[in-house]
């Protein structure tokens, strides 16, 4: 059985993780099939990059995400896009949508979803 899970990297006490597809029986930092993303919990806000097309491919062929990866996918909307892919939407449309949206996750708040370059930044009006 294939799992989508985190593979630890980085120096001691400075972790960063790769999101990989690996056999369930393989060790945490052992053999893997493919790297599909990156996660760095040490930045503010946390950095999560995922190759959406590859993630959707592996999920559609039966790879199971671990709890931590499933939470990341849920916040990014990947699991919702998987359901839409299974319902018949084209993969290209879903990947374009995923690339147009970034998710900022801060530890004390809920995820904030922002549109990227196409949407102008919201500026605060000066107090009168």
What whole-number distance in Å separates Cα of residue 68 and Cα of residue 84? 22
Do the beta carbons of residue 9 and residue 38 sit within 8 Å? Answer: no
The answer to whether the predicted template modeling score (pTM) of the entire model surpasses 0.75 is: no
Write down all domains in the chain, each with its CATH number in brackets. 2-115 (3.30.1320.10)
pLDDT for position 40: 92
What whole-number distance in Å separates Cα of residue 31 and Cα of residue 25? 10
pLDDT in tens, the chain (128 residues): 899 999 999 899 999 999 999 998 888 888 889 999 999 999 988 889 999 999 999 999 999 999 999 999 999 888 999 998 889 888 888 888 888 876 555 555 555 555 555 544 444 545 54
Q: How many angstroms from the chain centroid is the CA of residue 64?
A: 14
* Tokens encoding 101: 């949206």
Q: What are phi and psi of 19, to 5 degrees?
A: -90, 115
Q: Is the dihedral of CA 12, 15, 20, 23 positive or negative?
A: positive
Do the beta carbons of residue 91 and residue 53 sit within 8 Å? Answer: yes
pLDDT for position 7: 92
């Amino acid at each position: 059985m294939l799992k989508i899970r985190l593979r630890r990297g980085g120096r001691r006490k400075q972790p960063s993780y790769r999101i990989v597809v690996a056999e369930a029986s393989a060790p945490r930092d052992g053999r893997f099939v493919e790297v599909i993303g990156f996660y760095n919990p040490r930045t503010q806000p946390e950095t999560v990059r995922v190759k959406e097309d590859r993630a959707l491919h592996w999920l559609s062929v039966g790879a199971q995400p671990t709890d931590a990866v499933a939470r990341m996918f849920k916040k990014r909307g990947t699991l919702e896009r998987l359901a839409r892919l299974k319902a018949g939407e084209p993969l290209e449309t879903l990947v374009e949508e995923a690339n147009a949206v970034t998710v900022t996750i801060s530890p004390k708040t809920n995820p904030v979803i922002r549109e990227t370059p196409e949407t102008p930044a919201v500026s605060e009006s000066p107090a009168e």
